Structure 1
Amino acid sequence: MKFANDLRIKTATSWFPPDHETVEDAIAAGKLDQSDADKIGVTRLPVSTRLSAPEMAVAAARDAISRAGWHPSKVGLVLHTWIYHQGHDMWSPPHFVANEVGTPEALAYGVYQGCNGAALSLHLAAMHLASDPGLGGALITTGDRFEPPGFRRWSCDYGLGYGDAGTAVLLHRADGEPDDFALVSLATTTAGELELMLRHGDDFSPAPLAHNEYISLRRPKKSYMAEHGKEQFGEIASRMIRRVIVDSVHDAGLELDDPRIKYIVLPRIGVAPLDAIYAPVLEDVLKAEALRFHADTGHLGCGDFLANLADLRDHALLQPGDVALVIGGGAAWTWTCAVVQVPAAGV
């Protein structure tokens, strides 16, 4: 989807807790072995010992609003997304975020789309801005805290370690003031048949954690692979990743070899899945440098996408006019690729 020329990402922020657990500590504690650690490829994971998931989202949102120099009243839409427990049952964390950042009258709702939730929220926010001339700005937040007993951050999934964080993005129409990026285009594709991968071998249950005392994505994935094989998922994922890259670049009015495309930022999943699924596609279709920002954070759930925008701004060498791609994916299953460009001053 091609967006209007004036759509801007005002700023992107990440909030990480000060505490962490190193991979050496996790191995010593028997939470994973060296082989699994090598597949994850991180040095440590951020661990929140104090703030809940939505409180971390609020911390990131406050930082974003402060960085933007906005009064909270400019925010008329709040979209919050997550993949794990938000601290209360039958409760609305989006309204908590809106109230805590000083926008209690903003339209607030949750977007649940697995680890691709932030990318889809960005798309929804862009559609709101396109259809509502009175909307000043939109706030998108994520927040997750992967704590036991219900979650084992080092061993829940194959090739992933889960880190705690809150992230935020402010989206608005250009007003002549500085912005981090112009949001040029965004493409999403879906493989709904893969939803079976996260429930294979299990009946529908009457309550959370009925199948296991903690969330295990390995168990249904192992059952799925035993029946369908690993090749099927790899083939579908590779095809979908290729599609969103090609579609987003073409929607932006660019060619895949355009020299303005400097980087593509990859999801914060482990080195094993990145090398096996993403790297071959990128080598085939794109000349841009691939950036990986996962080493000190691990996978942030749906926080990957917004945290990658913040790190792209802070750690990549980009000049006005330069273009980057940010790609994300989530079970079960969507993939999204956004094309962003560094705007010239006053544009």
Structure 2
Amino acid sequence: MKIHNRQSYLTSQSEGKPRNRKAPKLTQLIYFLVLAILFFYIVYFFVSRTLYITEVGFVEIQKTNISSERGGKIISIPLKEGEKFKKGALLATISAAKTCHTIVDKRVDNVAFDIDEQKIVLDGLLGELALLKQIQSENEKRENNAVRRALEINASLNSSRFDNLQDQLELKNKIALQRAKLANLESRMTTLGNQVDTTMLDPGCSQESILAPADGHVFALRRQSNEVVTRAEEILLMVADDADVFIEVYLEAELYKNIADQNTMEVTFPDGQESIAQILEVNSSAYTTPDREWNDYQPVVPNLQVKLAPKDESDIALWKKFDRYQVEVRGEK
């Protein structure tokens, strides 16, 4: 029996060179690019933190609080949220707070009293004149009935008629003077009527109509019809068409000197558009830190509240487009 040392076909072949694989090199290149990008990002982050102030701000359009001057029940609010209106449009109607009563100006009241008094005097003079005319008429009748004693009676009648006519003339002069006084008082009353409202009502006795101070739209309704509001309580918020727009950003207090040395900052909006903002105000602010509370004491961290506005008026529309959005604010250190 023969035993042959048979070699495997695979092991009997020459080794040769391994195939050149490209996949590992490509993977290494990707790793290298990722590390390079990460490295440059870290460098950019620290450099930007060193050279620039970068923080998040919030865009805010100035809103007007519409409230009642005296309070009461809301009768109606004819507008809805987002609805536009013109200046002078009715925004809300508030019910009367109490029963009406008239307040008359004292000067007008005094002149009115004088007019009434002079009218009484004038009526008396006119009555006296009418009485004299009646007496004259009766005397003329007596003359007609006493024809037979014409000569004697005529002499006395002529004397009586002369006295009567003289009295009438004096009364007519008094009446003319009295009418002139009345005309003067009525003219004075007209002048006072143009200066003061003679039927002025207590504001609390009439309905309060709240009118729009400018063109704009309703931003938010805080109350509904039939609800009761107190004085100066917010009923709705409106945004005027020409309302100001600004950005509020909070920075560390240590950056005050850097902010004070510059007038503008760069703003980047969510869609990538950029704008230049002008620094309007820099105010001090603070917030508590409950996580660092110790023995019922919460440390207060001071910071800065910076208010920005568009430097270029052409950017106002862009700013208003992103009302209540977060934006990136950047300035130099």
Structure (1 or 2) with the larger CA radius of gyration: 2
> Which of the two has greater strand per residue?
2
Which TM-score applies when normalising by structure 1?
A: 0.18
Instruction: Report which structure shows greater RCO (CA 8 Å, sep ≥6).
Output: 2
